[in-house]
Amino acid sequence: MKKRVAIIAANGGLFDAYKVFNIATAAAATEAEVAIFFTFEGLNLIHKEAYQQLPLPEGKEQIQQGFAQANVPSIPELVSMAQEMGVKFIACQMTMDVMGLTKEHFVDGIDVGGAVTFLDFAKDADITLTF
């Protein structure tokens, strides 16, 4: 039986994005079934405009150059990789409503659902992580 990995993405910075998508793609590479629930600032990680310019922690601006020199994929590239590997993206309906966002604000291929949608997946998860 496939392992299940459930990830909650609640923060919207560049480091948060790398944590979420590195774990998600690594888990998917091991044939695990992976779902990410994006809520609050975490929605930035899949927002068509925001995910191209996620903020770095103050004083860490030089790390951007390190990512480039180490050939680390960009967040848009990691989003595409994760989707190609079958990672399920669930955008939080409540947060979207509060922020006045619609499915069209986000990358293609996402599901929109509430906490119950994610919990239905997570209840059988072998690993649950929050970033």
pLDDT number for residue 1: 83
Instruction: Share the mean pLDDT of the chain.
Output: 95
**Predicted confidence (pLDDT) per residue in 52-108, tens digit:** 999 998 888 888 888 889 999 999 999 999 999 999 999 999 999 999 999 999 999
- Residue 40 region by backbone torsions, left for phi larger than 0, else alpha for psi between -120 and 50, else beta: left
pLDDT number for residue 57: 87
Gap between the terminal Cα atoms of the chain: 26
Q: What share of the chain has pLDDT > 70, as a percent?
A: 100
Looking at 49-92, list the stretches that DSSP marks H as alpha helix, in order from N- to C-terminal side.
Answer: 63-69, 75-84
Range 4-130 has CATH code 3.40.1260.10? yes
pLDDT number for residue 45: 98
pLDDT number for residue 107: 98
| 131, 16 contact by CB (below 8 A) | yes
Sequence ranges of the domains in the chain: 4-130
